Amino acid sequence: MKWTLPNILTVIRLFAAPAVAVMFLYFHRPLADWFALTLFITAAVTDWFDGYIARAWAQESKFGAMLDPIADKAMVVIALVIITGYSGMNPWLILPVTAILFREVFVSGLREFLGAKAGLLKVTSLAKWKTTAQMVAISILFLGTGLEHLEGIARQGLTPDQYADLVSQGLADPIRSCGTRGCSSYATMVGLGLIWVAAILTLVTGWDYFRKSLPYLREDK
């Protein structure tokens, strides 16, 4: 294995995945949310750069081709587990997250079973859009969890509606709200919408991989 810049970026992204979880062990919220968000976005950006540099500088390698999807999956899976936990197990989040995790486990198992033939299941353009949608959705959801924690501190035990009434009366800090609703609710709604889009793309690409693998799964007559 050669330590080219693309491979180094991929390895950094791989180690950044568990580091996102570590942020919540060593820092208090919402600082942990902001650090996790920054780390996740930085790692996601490297996902584009390492592929671009590898192609532009003719530094594509088997090691990078193997590790790149693993790093992406590790980032997505770990981040989704953290967000689901801090979102209060929102069922509108749990369902698309379950679909995403199921697909990732299924396709990984399929590739392992196919062995040398797994190379035939090449990453498609739709799969790349799927990964992009996942990372954008996760970034916005991290933003939502951080804002929600800040708003919870600002409300001091008040419900969002009670707090909004105080804001409208000039009795509470309006910086914490976006109109009559908390900023976190808007971020969460956008994030949930995108994670559903990502889940649909995830299932579509998973079915595509399964369909392409069917000739290699038939029993020999």
What average pLDDT does this structure show over 201-209?
A: 90
What average pLDDT does this structure show over 19-47?
A: 89
Residue 198 has pLDDT above 80, yes or no: yes
Residue 180 has pLDDT above 60, yes or no: no
Residue 88 has pLDDT above 90, yes or no: no
Q: Tell me which architecture the domain covering 5-216 has in CATH.
A: Up-down Bundle (1.20)
Tokens matching residue 140: 């916005």
Which residue reads 């749990």 in tokens?
94
The pLDDT, as a whole number, for residue 117 is: 65
Cβ proximity of 179 and 153 under 8 Å: no
Which residue reads 């950006």 in tokens?
45
The pLDDT, as a whole number, for residue 182 is: 66
What average pLDDT does this structure show over 118-131?
A: 75
The pLDDT, as a whole number, for residue 29 is: 83
Tokens matching residue 206: 């998973």
The mean pLDDT of the chain is 82
The pLDDT, as a whole number, for residue 121 is: 67
Residue 109 has pLDDT above 90, yes or no: no
Pick the more confident residue, 117 or 57.
Answer: 57
Cβ proximity of 26 and 67 under 8 Å: no
Return d(Cα 17, Cα 73) in angstroms, integer: 9
Cβ proximity of 131 and 72 under 8 Å: yes
Residue 92 has pLDDT above 80, yes or no: yes
Domain ranges within the chain, ordered by starting residue: 5-216
Question: Which H helix or E strand runs over 8?
Answer: helix 5-26
Residues 31, 10, 210, 110, CA torsion sign: negative
Q: Say if residue 160 is preceded by a cis peptide, omega within 30 of 0.
A: no
The pLDDT, as a whole number, for residue 160 is: 67
pLDDT tier at 99, thresholds 50, 70, 90: very high
Percent of the chain whose pLDDT exceeds 70: 88
